[in-house]
Structure 1
Amino acid sequence: MKSQPVRPLHAVLVMALLLAGLWVVEVLDQLSGNALDAYGIRAREVDGLPEIFTAPLLHAGWDHLASNSVPFFAFGLLVLLGGVARWVVSTLVSVVSSGLLAWLLTPAGTIVLGASGVIFGWLTYLLVRGVWSRRPGQVALAVVILLVYGGLLWGVLPGAAGVSWQAHLGGAVGGVVAAWALHRRDVPVRPPAPQVYGWRT
């Protein structure tokens, strides 16, 4: 999928505004007595499915939001630099995949919220897109990200109480799917070698 690259300064401004928006939403949530948390994903409830699209905007307090802020900005920025279309597709796929698995696998009566599903989607997208594109720059970036943030991948496994490994796993799967869908045709096709004819005298 072709996608026009975004200028670094523009990408930084977009991600800074999106991150600021998450903090504004949390301010409003705190002022409302956490009333906005009702727009998180209500596991196993059909009425809770639409909240797949609002849950990533919400967080369970300042610590939760603070822990997500740096990877949200960094991974989102790196994906956005590859083009708006790819950023939109990878984000939507990660949101839906993360939300569906969280809704399906989380025990009933639980509300799931936070941007970590999208973060895991961006993370795996950045890690595996080079598998299909075979572009040296993307492969090198994936290696650096793996060295710096590879430990986050353990978050797809059941672990600490109150942490939605289901959303993490769903987001990670979504990132891989998005990378495959967006980059599987990026591999350049070599033209056939020209035939050489020799003249005999």
Structure 2
Amino acid sequence: MSLRLVKRFQVIAALAAVMVGVQLVNMLTANSLLYHGIIPRTTYGLQGIVFAPFLHGSVGHLVSNLPAFVVLSWLVSSEGLGRYVRVFILIAGLGGFLVWLVGRPSIHVGASGLIFGLWTYVLTRAWFQRSLLSLLIAAIALAAYGGLIFGFLPVPGVSFESHIMGAIAGMLASWLMHSRRLVSGSA
């Protein structure tokens, strides 16, 4: 296995391990960490932009997010670890800020906004790159996770705002990193 593949695996595994570790601490503290999620339009809730992707309301919530997070992270990291880290930060930061700006007055936690962002990044990356590899990766993501589209619908107890804002952030990240107009500098 090449060193690049090992590094990609280590970073993604480390992020997943942080999510698991945070959930263990959260369970041991009667879910006290959830108050560090995104609380829209409050100064205190801004911290959630950083913490929300790593916080989950329950073990079931975490278990439902982890596989998609790992697979989509792996697909995004096919462009390299540096690109993956930039995409991760941009989606988590912008998506989280948008949730803070427009979300319902509730506590928003979970990696699903990040998952929706990674998913839409992979799909829109294919549009901008128009390479056989990016189209193949997008087809895999669409086949495996096409059901995410239903996550845009309001469901009680689910932050569909995180799903929508994460998806918007993923599309914007793809546009920023792959638009030929931006890359070539042409108008």
Q: Identify whether the pair has TM-score above 0.5, normalized to the shorter chain.
A: yes
Higher helix share: 2
Runs of 4+ that moved beyond 4 A: 186-189
Residue 126 of structure 2 corresponds to 130
Q: Secondary structure at the match of 2:180?
A: coil
- Among residues 33, 40, 51, which one is paired with 1:43 in the alignment? 40
Query: Cα 1:102–1:187, aligned 2, differ >3 Å: closer, same or farther?
Result: closer
Could you tell me which residue of structure 1 aligns to residue 137 of structure 2?
A: 141
Alpha-carbon shift at residue 43 of structure 1 (Å) = 1.9
1:73-112 counterparts in 2 under 5 A? 73-108=70-105, 110-112=106-108
Number of matched residues? 183
Residues 1:35 and 1:187: Cα distance change in structure 2 (over 3 Å): closer
Unaligned ranges ≥5, structure 2: none
1:121 CA displacement: 0.7
Contact 1:79 1:87 in 2 (8 A): yes
How far is 1:6 from its partner? 7.3
**Equivalent position to 1:15, from 9, 12, 16:** 12
- Counterpart amino acid of residue 84 in structure 1: L
Q: Which runs of 5+ in 1 are unaligned?
A: 190-201
Tell me how far apart the structure 2 counterparts of residues 25 and 71 of structure 1 sit (CA, whole Å): 18
Compute the TM-score of the two structures, normalised by the length of structure 2. Answer: 0.90
- Give 1:197's aligned residue: none
Moved more, 134-143 or 98-107: 98-107
1:175 corresponding residue in structure 2: 170
Is 95-104 or 161-170 further displaced after alignment?
Answer: 95-104
Identity %: 36
Q: Deviations over 1:151-189 (max 9, x none)?
A: 11221232x211111011111011111111111239999
